[in-house]
Structure 1
Amino acid sequence: MEMDTSEIQAAIDSIPAKKEDLRKAFEVLQSYSSSFSSFTLKWNDLDGHVSFIEKSIEERFRELEAKVRSCVADKPAAAAMVAAERKVVEKEPEIKVQNKVVEKEPEVKSVLELKDFCVRMDGKGLRSYILKNRKLLPEFRDELRLALRAAPNPIMLVLDSLDGFVPSRKVKKKELELIWKTCVHLVQVLHELALEIKASYRERARRFATEWRGKITDGEGNNWFVVLGFLHLVVTFGLVDSFAANDILDVLVLVARRRQIVDMCRSLGFEDKMHDFIDKLKKKGKEVDAVKFVLAFNLSEKHPPASLLESYVNTIKKAAFEQRQKAKSTQIKVCF
């Protein structure tokens, strides 16, 4: 029978990161502990409990690996499978090195050229320029802002740059992400200019936003730049009324971990919808993210942060239990 323990190992490897998220959220919560006297939870208690679960899972997993090796010794086919997997693992660093060697940064272009694209109202050229110099964007963000101001019509220029930016041909996921990221930066900088948006421009932006919303799917594997692109477009062009509030909240849930989402909620005018938003985060098992919004919008009375964190710990315990049960089940299947 085919045996793959990679999922179990991946789950174990993710525990430290989840525990670190919990610790950070707990520290933020603790700084507000004077606001609610019922807060008696101690980090050492949580840390000790999670560490105990982590150690227990690792021990059970090592026992499972020992069983697998024992069974593999008696099964040539299984041994061949393990050997093949080992070759893949051994080759992976070489592939990464190759990618690192092949991927070269383009030459730095003059800031004057950036301005030239804007003066000539060359939206596609501007987009291409930013894409090729993507890692330098933080350094010339101010120059991009000044360059857009030099354009005869900055709003139309940005809309032109967004028009048909998704290639019709199939491209690699990384390349597509970079294209989305470029468009997000353009919309962000346009928003910073705080220009008056005419109805004709808003209608054109609405068509883009509707198209982008259709590309968003629920799940952690979704390209978060697509989500941010949609949200920034809605904020910049005032398109909140073009979509159902509940639909926008569902989109916000996908990127709730991002730092700018608190300000995004304020820009959307969603202060009165934060109770619903926090409920959605809780249903998705994102209690740690929910704490951030509870504190930012002073909602501790209805959504006690301590209860949210305790709920998160219970979620971790449940996941740990399920992994242990899965490990036990796999042990039995391996030897039979």
Structure 2
Amino acid sequence: MEDTRSVASLMDSTSSKIQQLQKAFAELESQRAVTLNLKWKELEEHFHGLERSLKRRFHELEDQEKEYETKTRKAQELLEKKKEAVEAKEKVSLERLQKKRDAAVFAINSALVKYNNPPPISITSVEDSPNKAFAADGTDENPDGTVQEAEISPEVKAYPQLLKLCGDMDSAGLHKFVSDNRKNLASLKEEIPAAFKAAANPASLVLDSLEGFYPVEAPNGDGKKDGNLLGMRRTCIMLMECLSVLLSGLDSNSLAVVLSEDVKQRAKSIAEGWSPLLGSLEMDACNGNSLEAHAFLQLLASFDIVSGFEEDGILKLIPMVSRRRQAAELCRSLGLSEKMPGVIEVLLKSGKQIDAVNLAFAFELTEQFPPVELLKSYLTDARRSTSQGGPGNASPAAQDEFNERELTGLKAVAKCVEEHNLEEQYPVEPLQKRIVQLEKAKAEKKRATEPTKPQTKRPRGAQPRVTDNHNNNNNNNKTGYGRVIPERYPQYVYDNRQFLNGPIMAAQAPPPPPPQTYTFSPAAAHGNFYGNCYQYQPPPPYFH
């Protein structure tokens, strides 16, 4: 700025300098002896031209300076806004990280308290070599190599049968016990890891329980159609998960004893037998919930045999279990955390945005995969398929299928938003309104398509009002009238009182009614019975 001011002051003094030069030139001309060819007007015009050129250039430089200052100010404001946004994100990330850290510390402390200070429970002595793995937990070892006492979690008292089944290495009995108590599966999963300590070899017990996972008679059969096979496979997965919980609380020496080389080799043989059977699985057919793929991956993780199999083959199985709640922890156990961006990309290409969002939150990849955008694209795909199946383009059955697909997608998105606390970024009120609208339309259509109950056709003409005192509380009688037994033919009421028989009473009898326009013979039609199962007796003849 000081340079600009100095240049401006010099330019303002140009006129005074020109006047001084004019005076000097006049004085010079008055004293000259020889006439000069140079005229003053030419000099004055030359200097004025220089002045105008300098002023024009000076104003251009001023405009450029102002423009540069404006751009600099805008850039500084933008940098300040970005800095504030980054600081806000850092604060939120630190708070979330602190919560996870506090939760992890609390879980670790709880586990330490649970496994280091449980009350001892006496159990039957078993062989020494496998149970030496639990000596560090407070067991007393005798010189003969047997274990007298083992510290078992107090929750095992709720199911003491588990201790006996594990101590006897009875895998079939363990399967049956879990199946019989499947209603209390949550408490079982807490007790089984502690009950495994009573087993001579917990890893071998779990491997024994895997027998029959693929039936010998039909190894490629569809397990979804066999309820017993489906339950058995779920139990196998749960037992492997419980073994992983037990192993996570052991030190390196104890872990090496439980997962010996023989055990690992046996587990690897089982996995190699299962691997070819997984080739027939399709990602779309599995819908992210394949028990076969889950069991294979859990076997690799629980027995630490991941290194014996190709990573690409393992990664191809992850989308087949992406919908299961253990998917994220399973990927961590398999050491695939760094490969999760590629897995999420595969899920997005296959239209599984919900599973991709869950894994993005589990592995903190929400910056790379924005959850709100993924959820909106999932709903867009669902609505696009629904719009293509409009009333003019699809049959009613196809339209019902499209509506059901949209309803399922809306519920999945609403649940995902609530689970990950995205209500501020993605309000669920419009989703809930659409869900209510689709469910109402579905209920109305179902009500309209239900077959109506046939109503009893009433006979024409005046009918007597019959009261059924025995069925006054019958809820099916909506009209308030007594139940009238429908008859195929009209009933005739015959007066069969015996005391009216005889000539005297016959003489006093009223004239007979006019003849009917049709004839009916009950005896010929139904024998000696009416349609209401009462026996028919012919009346005496009238005497005229």
| 1:84-106 CA-partner distances (Å, limit 9, x unpaired) | xxxxxxxxxxxxxxxxxxxxxxx
Aligned to 2:229: 176
Larger radius of gyration: 2
> Do the aligned partners of residues 145 and 296 (structure 1) sit closer, same or farther apart at CA in structure 2, a change above 3 Å counting?
closer
Alignment of 1:101-180 (within 5 A): 111-168=159-216, 172-180=225-233
- Aligned partner of 2:227: which letter? K
1:189 aligns with 2:242: yes
What is the root-mean-square deviation of aligned Cα atoms in Å?
2.8
Separation in 1 of the partners of 2:337 and 2:216?
A: 39
Deviation, 1:210, is 3.1
> Do the aligned partners of residues 215 and 129 (structure 1) sit closer, same or farther apart at CA in structure 2, a change above 3 Å counting?
farther
Separation in 2 of the partners of 1:166 and 1:126?
A: 18
Alignment of 1:286-301 (within 5 A): 286-301=352-367
SS at match of 2:364: coil
SS at match of 1:258: coil
Separation in 1 of the partners of 2:190 and 2:229?
A: 25
> Do the aligned partners of residues 213 and 131 (structure 1) sit closer, same or farther apart at CA in structure 2, a change above 3 Å counting?
farther
Moved more, 158-167 or 233-242: 158-167
Deviation, 1:169, is 5.2
Deviation, 1:290, is 1.1
Alignment of 1:254-269 (within 5 A): 254-269=320-335
Separation in 2 of the partners of 1:35 and 1:319?
A: 37
Separation in 2 of the partners of 1:143 and 1:329?
A: 53
SS at match of 1:138: helix
- Aligned partner of 2:282: which letter? D
Deviation, 1:165, is 4.2
- Aligned partner of 2:268: which letter? R
1:212 aligns with 2:278: no
Identity of aligned residues (%): 34
> Do the aligned partners of residues 304 and 230 (structure 1) sit closer, same or farther apart at CA in structure 2, a change above 3 Å counting?
same
Aligned to 1:324: 390
- Aligned partner of 1:193: which letter? L
| 1:236-256 CA-partner distances (Å, limit 9, x unpaired) | 111222333232222221221
> Do the aligned partners of residues 227 and 165 (structure 1) sit closer, same or farther apart at CA in structure 2, a change above 3 Å counting?
closer
Moved more, 182-191 or 204-213: 204-213
Deviation, 1:330, is 4.0
SS at match of 2:324: coil
- Aligned partner of 1:136: which letter? N
Deviation, 1:292, is 2.1
> Do the aligned partners of residues 330 and 297 (structure 1) sit closer, same or farther apart at CA in structure 2, a change above 3 Å counting?
same
Deviation, 1:221, is 4.5
| Contact 2:213 2:229 survives alignment (8 Å) | no
1:241 corresponds, among 280, 284, 307, to: 307
SS at match of 2:172: helix
Separation in 1 of the partners of 2:292 and 2:227?
A: 13
Separation in 2 of the partners of 1:135 and 1:143?
A: 14
Deviation, 1:220, is 5.0
Alignment of 1:12-27 (within 5 A): none
Aligned to 1:9: none
Separation in 1 of the partners of 2:318 and 2:269?
A: 20
> Do the aligned partners of residues 318 and 270 (structure 1) sit closer, same or farther apart at CA in structure 2, a change above 3 Å counting?
same
| 1:238-296 CA-partner distances (Å, limit 9, x unpaired) | 12223332322222212212222122222221121011111111111011221222233
Deviation, 1:151, is 0.8
- Aligned partner of 2:199: which letter? A
Aligned to 2:369: 303
Unaligned 5+ runs, structure 1 = 1-33, 37-109, 332-336
2:378 corresponds, among 303, 307, 312, to: 312
**TM-score, normalized by length of structure 1?**
0.59
- The structure with the greater share of residues assigned to helix is 1
Greater relative contact order (CA < 8 Å, ≥ 6 in sequence): 1
Deviation, 1:324, is 2.6
Aligned to 2:29: none
Aligned to 1:200: 262
| Contact 2:194 2:246 survives alignment (8 Å) | no
- Aligned partner of 1:112: which letter? P
Separation in 2 of the partners of 1:305 and 1:165?
A: 37
> Do the aligned partners of residues 308 and 201 (structure 1) sit closer, same or farther apart at CA in structure 2, a change above 3 Å counting?
same
Moved more, 142-151 or 211-220: 211-220
Alignment of 1:11-90 (within 5 A): 35=89
